[in-house]
A = this chain, B = another copy of it.
Amino acid sequence: MMPNGYEMCWLDYKKHCDVDKNELSKWFSYICLFDPTDEFQVVKEELAIFVTDFLGFRPRFFKVFPKQGRHVLIGKLSDLPVEVNLDEQLSEEGFVLKYVKKQDAEFVIITGISAAGVLYGTFEFINRVRVGEDLRKLNVVSNPKIKLRFLNHWDNLDGTIERGYAGKSIFFSNNKILLNQRTKDYTRLIASIGINSVVINNVNVRHAALKLIEPAYLKRLSQLAQLFQRYGIKLFLSVSFASPIHLGGLDTADPLDERVKKWWKEKVKQIYDYIPNFGGFLIKADSEFNPGPHMYGRTQADGANMLAEALEPFGGLVIWRAFVYNCQQDWRDYKIDRAKAAYDIFKPLDGQFADNVAIQIKYGPMDFQIREPVSPLFGGMEKTNQILELQITQEYTGQQIHLCYLGTMWKEILDFDTFSKGNNSFVKRIIDGTLYGRKNNGIAGVANIGDDPNWTSHDLAQANLWTFGKLAWDPDEDVKKIVEEWIKLTFGDDELVVRNISYMLLNSREVYESYTTPFGLGWMVNPGHHYGPNPEGYEYSHWGTYHRANWEAIGVDRTSRGTGFTLQYHEPWRSIYDDIHKCPEELLLFFHRVPYNFKMKNGKTLLQNIYDLHFEGVEKVQEFIKLWDELEGKIDAVRFSRVKKKLQLQLEHAIEWRDVINTYFYRRTGIKDEKGRKIYP
C-alpha cells in the first residue's frame, strides 16, 4: 500500500507543460523497439507509463521498421536499422536523442551503446517531450562525465535513518529488507537522474547491519540487486571493518593478518555468489568510534588495499571514506585542528592505494556545514581515485524544514580550482578523471529521501536530489537551467511558478547561511540532532569544532601563524586564505580569528555585518513566503499548503536563529545594533 498522497516527484507524467497532446500522440502510436537480447523491459515499461499517463493511451511496441509516419525508434546503436551520425564519441553509458527523416518516415531515435545508455536516453527524451521541446530539432549526444554516481543511504536496519528527515527507511524495517512497489519506484526515480551506484545502508554499521553480508540477508539483497541492475545500478554495501571479528569469530581485524585476509576473500566470494554484479564496499573506518586499521597500527591504505585485493577478482570496488579525525579532542588542546585531519592522514598515502580503491572525501574539511572551503585533499592526491561526498540530506542545512537548495553550493565546489596542476585544476576535473587520469572516480550524495509520501518531506527538497543527479552526470551544467527544468517537470511551466520557485531555490542557501552562521562560522547548532541555534553547543565538547568566541574576537586562526591549515592548499589559495584582507569574506571566520570591530569590505564591522545578515535573512524568508503565496491556485492545493507550512515553520525558526545569534553576540560585546533593531538583552 502506498501512503496517502503518494507522489513520484518529477516522474509524475500527468503533470506537464503546455503542449499539444494531439500532435505529440502521433509520435507514440507506433514505437519501434529493437531489442534482440531482451534488455529493454524497463525502457518499455517506462514509456508505457509515460504514454499512458501523459497521452492517455497504452502504446504498442513493434520490431518492424516503418516506411512512413512519425515514430519513436529505440535500440542499441548496433541494432538500429538506420545509420546515426554522431558529432561526438558515445561512451558506455551515454545516449543519443536524434531526429532523423528517412523518405516518408520521421523518427526520433533513442539510442546508446548499452541498455543503461538507452534507458538514460529514454528518461531524457520523456523530460524533453514533457517540457514541449520540438522533437524535430532533437540532436543530443550526452555522456556522463563522472563514472561513479553514488547515492549513499544512511539507513539503519531498524528502519530509522541517520540524519534522515523524510520518514523511515524505504529499504529496511524491523531488521528486514523491504522489496515492494516503492523499491521499484525508487529505482526508476534515481535511474531517471543517472545514478548508477547505491549504498543502501548506513556507514555506521551496527547491530543487525553487521549481518547484511551473511547469507540470510544476501539472498534477499540479490533480488534487490537484480532490480537495480535492470536500471543500470550497482548495489554497494557499507560494511564494518571489524566484520572478521563480529561474523568470522576471529580475534582480530588486522588487515595484515593472513586469517583476516582469507576471511574477507571467502566472504567476498560468497557475496558474489549471491550477487554477481555486486558493486563493492563503502567503509567508514577509524572514524567516530568505527573500527579500522589504525586500531592495529596499520595505515588507511593497508586497510583499504586488503579489502581491494579480495574484491578485485570480481571487479568490485572499495569506497573508503576520508572522514577520519580525532573525535575525542580536548577543547583545551589548541594545537589540534580537526580541519587538518583528512589531509594529514591521507596525503602521505597518495599512490599507495590499489586501483580499485576510491577515497571518498567530504566536500569540506569539517562536516557539511553551510559554508566551508573545499577540502585541500582534492588538490593533494594525484595518484588516488577520489569521490566527492556531498550531503543531499539537509543535516546542518535545515533538515528539510528550511528551504535550502544546495545546487548552488555544489556548483561552487565542483568549480573550485585547486591549482594542483596549474590553472583549471577544478574539483570537477578531478572527479571526472581528466585532471589526474585516474579511472575510478566519482561523486556521492547522502540521500535525502525516506518513506514520506513525497519522498523528501519538503517538496522543494526534491530539487536537491534532482540537481545532484544532473550535476553528477554533467558538473558543467548550469544550475539555473537544472532548476528550471525541475520546476517545469514538477510544477508545470507557468511563468510565475518557474520564476518564483527558481528565485527561491537559487537564493535559499545564502538566506539560510545569513540567519544561521555566516562567514564560515558554522557549528552553532544543538549537539546531537544538529537542529536549531546553540552558539556554544559544541564549545566545550570533544568533537573538535570550536569558535572560541570571547569578549573581543571569534574564530580559530587556521593560517600559517595559527594551526597551519592554510598550508594544505596550493598557491594562490594558500596566500589568499592566509591573509585576513584577501580571504573571501564568506570564509573569513573559517580561516581567521577576527575581532568584532574588524572592518569588512562594505565598511561595516564584522559584528554589524553579523547583525545585518541575521535581520536580512529573516526578511528574505518573509519574501519567500510572499513569492510562494503568489503561486496559490497555480500549484495543486496539497503541495501548495504543504510547502506553505514548511515556509512558515522556517520563518519561525529563522527568527529564533536571528534572535539567539544576535543576543549571543550582544551579550558578549555589549555593542548594540547601529540601526537600533530589537536584540534581546
Contact = CB atoms under 8 A, between A and B. Distances in A.
Interface string A547-583: 0111110000000000000000000000000000000
Contact of A536 (B331, B535, B670, B681): B535
Contact of A660 (B540, B660, B667, B669): B540
B540 A670 contact: no
A534 interface: yes
- In the assembly, how many copies of this chain are there? 2
Contacts of A663: 540
B332 A659 contact: yes
Interface string A328-344: 00011000000000000
Contacts of A552: 670
A391 to B, nearest CB: 25
Contacts of A549: 667
B670 A551 contact: yes
- Interface bracket on A: 20 to 34
Contacts of A526: 527
A533 interface: yes
Contacts of A332: 659, 680
Contacts of A656: 540
A206 interface: no
A532 to B, nearest CB: 8
A668 interface: yes
Mostly, the A contact residues are loop
A667 B539 CA distance: 12
Interface in A508-537: 526-528, 533-537
A667 B533 contact: no
B534 A540 contact: yes
A540 B533 contact: yes
B550 A551 contact: no
27 contacts: A331-B660, A331-B680, A332-B659, A332-B680, A526-B527, A528-B528, A533-B540, A534-B536, A534-B537, A534-B540, A535-B536, A536-B536, A537-B537, A540-B660, A540-B663, A548-B667, A549-B667, A550-B666, A550-B667, A550-B668, A550-B670, A551-B551, A551-B667, A551-B668, A551-B669, A551-B670, A552-B670
Interface of A: 331-332, 526-528, 533-537, 540, 548-552, 656, 659-660, 663, 666-670, 680-681
Given A551-B668, A552-B670, 11 more contacts: A331-B680, A332-B659, A332-B680, A528-B528, A534-B537, A537-B537, A549-B667, A550-B666, A550-B667, A551-B551, A551-B669
The 9 closest A-B pairs by CB, nearest first: A550-B667, A536-B536, A540-B660, A551-B670, A332-B680, A551-B551, A332-B659, A551-B668, A533-B540
